[in-house]
Amino acid sequence: MSYSPAVDDNGLPSPNYLSSEKGLWSWLSTLDHKRIGILYLIGITIAFFLGGVFALLLRLELFFPGQQLVGPDTYNKLFTLHGAVMVFLFIIPSIPAALGNFVLPLQLGAKDVAFPRLNLASWYIYVAGSLFALYALVTGGVDTGWTFYTPYSTSSNTAVISITTGAFILGFSSIFTGMNFIVTIHKLRAPGMTWDRLPLMVWALYGTALIQVLATPVLAITLALLIMERTLGVGIFDPAMGGDPVLFQHFFWFYSHPAVYIMILPGMGIISELIAAFSKREIVGYKFVAGSSLAIALLGFLVWGHHMFTSGQSELASAIFSFLTFFVAIPSAIKVFNWTATLYKGRISLEVPMLYALGFLFLFAIGGLTGLFLGTLSVDIHLHDTYFIVAHFHYVMMGGTVIALIGGIHYWWPKMFGRMYSQFWGVVGFILVFVGFNVTFFSQFIMGSQGMPRRYWDYLPQFQRIHGISTVGAMILGTGLFIIAIYLIASLRRGTIVGPNPWGASTLEWETTSPPHPHNFENQPVVTGGPYDFNKPRV
Amino acid sequence: MDTTATFWLPTPSSTIAGEIDLLFYVIFYLTTFFFLLIVSLATYFTIKYRKTAENENDPMPFVGHSRLLEATWIIIPTAIVMVLFFWGFRGYLRLSIVPAEAMQVKVTGQKWFWSFDYPEGASTVNEMVAPVGRPVRLLMSSKDVIHAFFVPAFRIKKDVLPNRYGVSWFEANQIGVYDLFCAEYCGSKHSQMIGKVRIVSEQDYKVWLESASDLGKGLTPVQYGEKLFQLKACATCHTIDGSSSNGPTFQGIFGHEVKLANGSSVTVDENYIRESILVPSAKVVAGFQPIMPTFQGILKDKEIDALVAYIQSLGGK
């Protein structure tokens, strides 16, 4: 091992970013992208826990028909908060702001992001926006659904204004992170780090950042208009005041469809890293995989109307949106086929992160392929607003993004904290999450195509058995996630200390110490080859 | 396609359902094939090329990138999705273009019930009746927020908007009773906004239409009021057993004084009931939200008379 032999009180390499400064204030005032990444990780974990508790309450209520735990009004608030917290507080910042912040400068061979102060400001804005959302929660909740469709949201007497203000503020956090990453990728690459030597995680974060910067302002404007309508009575969306509710849907999805790609693209980036590292092979079709990230980012702006096939938009608009939607299938297929091909003649080790990568392949394939049912106009008319949609986007968002996030956390955990978690519990956690997820959500495809509408507090008796199965799945899934949280936290103290590169991975972040030096690298790294050259000498 | 329910889809009961189900199953088998292809290849590679004690330190072999393979998995999916697009578009046009000879029913959605008005004068709530084998054009609008008209057995769904008409249509090909759901979230009782579509023979339809145009025939006002209490969905929010729901109970209120939200009070008499049906927000009982929709234009005078008589019959002074 060639890294510095100096160690701190905990036996970890010294100096490192965790122990170089001490005290709460050193964290709250830090400009270090690694520490800001950890701060985000804490924030999104709390949000995920909250959103997850809401989800479990929803599933328990749906265990049997009729009232189990909560009445319809509470149920409506729970699904609204589940959606809003998971989308705005958890999944959008999850991979880019938490893992991306930590990993991006390391993978580029940079000392930090381009604007460290802006980076810290983003986190504070995230906290401020989250507090507004929590304020909505404690002042009676919101019952509009996370989509805030008008005129329901204009007339609802719940805390619509505080939660939309929260989402408005969170948008700025997202825009600032995106801007920061774009400039960092353009300007702070290490000597020799040409565009075709960027790790695929960086390409994915780049595509994500472009969407964050270009799409998020539209959400901010839409929510501002909604707030104006409610407070000042300016008629924009509410027909009672001369507005048009379908206009809101266009505005909302113009952001929220690209936002889906803000959520999934960085997950795809993680999967590229994991498959390369645990197959010991360069990702097949590097340029196609990198290019497909940009293609998805671009196409994401052109397909929003596919959320509105039944809304009353013109038939011609629906036809054009359906046509364009199918093209999203192509770059997604390119990625999946190239990942699968990378396994060919690789040297595959089934470490915990790789289990998540293979799990992603399985779940994302289902999530992506079921999108074909929904892009097809005549079939979507039947499936729209049923549990089929709920299942589809949970397969993409949770089976895709969250599985990638958990895989990424397991992959970079030893880099972040210098310690390894329990492999045994890692496998147990994965199996419970994978099985629980499929039981929860595959059953929802069936009830959806059978006609079960979404956002229903109660349901007809023919759906009882399948709702029961889904709830059992959710309990298994919850148990798995709980176990993962326990062993990861336990590893912070008890985990065995690892060297710089426990996985034998090839990208730059593995060449520095674990946990890394406060300035990332002791010497400026110089890049001489591609990101996935597994035959070059290892440190 | 056959006419029974399958694992994935409910019994197809409209002329268009067969075509949509066929496409559903084409996509189902296609996606199942690609899913199995990816998963079996990944599984096979993972087992065959796993790391072992022997190969651990070997240098990694150089595996080239096949442009041909890359092109294959771009071109084949593109061709497939284009076929799906045109096929789905064709079905969508059929769903959108109403046959010229269709009969029309006006559908109104409001929190939280459906009402149906027939050109012949019949008017129903939460139950639509239509003849088998005849296309029915649905002209739809909402009185408040967005709802959606969804009949799974017919494979049709359309949003019902407050500021414009939506149009959908179906032609049922099987006699039966089918679920009608509201598929666009609309608040507290969204999941109770469930109706039925009853498909009957042409002959039964004629008989029904005649009697439905005069619902109160042969009934006393109280019996008629009781029937309307169910038919017009009063029962969604009001009980007759004294328990509280979204609105006050009807048991034992007639002739009594009730406290209003604005602090004053009012005696429940014929005029108060009439006003509360036509202008519900005028005098809201304390402890309840002003959420009741107006029934102006939905209930005729004779029907209001019957409801007053019914509420009077539920006790009070």
pLDDT digits (tens, 9 = 90+) for A289-341: 999 999 999 999 999 999 999 998 999 999 999 999 999 999 999 999 999 99
CB contact under 8 Å between B187 and A381, yes or no, is no
Q: Which residues sit opposite B260 in a β-bridge?
A: B285
A70: left (phi over 0), alpha (psi -120 to 50) or beta: beta
CB contact under 8 Å between A347 and B179, yes or no, is no
According to the model, what pLDDT value does residue A340 have?
95
According to the model, what pLDDT value does residue A292 have?
93
CATH superfamily ID and name for B103-212: Cupredoxins -  blue copper proteins (2.60.40.420)
% residues pLDDT > 70 (chain B): 99
CB interface of A with B, residues 252-281, below 8 Å: 279-281
DSSP string, B52-120: -TTTTTSPPPP----HHHHHHHHHHHHHHHHHHHHHHHHHHHHHHS--TT-EEEEEEEETTEEEEE-TT
Secondary structure class of A63 (helix, strand, coil): coil
Q: How many CB atoms lie within 10 A of CB B59?
A: 8
* Spans of all domains in chain A: 33-511
| DSSP H stretches of helix in chain B | 17-48, 67-96, 202-212, 221-231, 270-278, 301-313
Cis link prior to A151 (omega < 30° from 0)? Answer: yes
Instruction: Write the burial class of residue A234 (CB in 10 Å: 0-12 exposed, 13-18 middle, 19+ buried).
Output: middle
Give chain B's radius of gyration (CA, Å). Answer: 28
Chain B residues touching residue A330 (CB < 8 angstroms): 74, 77-78, 81
pLDDT above 70: residue A4: no
Chain B residues touching residue A343 (CB < 8 angstroms): 41-42, 45-46, 49
pLDDT in tens, A48-92: 999 999 999 999 999 999 999 999 999 999 999 999 999 999 999
Mean pLDDT, rounded, for B252-266 = 89
Residue B112 distance to chain A (closest CA, Å): 13
Contact assessment for residue A149 and residue A245, using Cβ atoms and an 8 Å cutoff:
yes
CA B197 vs CA A227, B9, B88, B115: distances in Å: 39, 18, 26, 12
pTM above threshold 0.90: no
Q: Report the relative pairing of strands B113-117 and B123-125 from DSSP bridges.
A: antiparallel
Q: How far apart are CA A354 and CA A367, in angstroms?
A: 19
Angle at which helix A387-396 crosses helix A245-279, to 10 degrees, equals 40
CB contact under 8 Å between B38 and A365, yes or no, is yes
According to the model, what pLDDT value does residue B317 have?
62
Mean pLDDT, rounded, for A441-468 = 96
Tell me the CATH number of domain A33-511, given options 3.30.930.10, 3.10.450.50, 1.20.210.10, 3.30.200.20.
Answer: 1.20.210.10
pLDDT above 80: residue A34: yes
Q: Give the HSE-up count for residue B209: Cα atoms under 13 Å, Cβ half-sphere.
A: 16
Return the residue of A nearest to B94 by Cα. Answer: A378
Q: How far apart are CA B236 and CA B230, in angstroms?
A: 8
* Spans of all domains in chain B: 103-212, 221-313
According to the model, what pLDDT value does residue A2 have?
47
- B100 close to A (CB below 8 A): no
Higher pLDDT, B316 or A20: A20
Q: Which of A310, A343, A361, A449 has the highest number of chain B CBs within 10 A, making it the mutation to test binding with B?
A: A310
Return the residue of B nearest to A308 by Cα. Answer: B159
Q: Which residues sit opposite B104 in a β-bridge?
A: B137
According to the model, what pLDDT value does residue A1 have?
44
Between A279, A336, A456, which is nearest B38 by CB? A336
pLDDT above 60: residue A198: yes
Fold of B221-313: Cytochrome Bc1 Complex; Chain D, domain 2 (1.10.760)
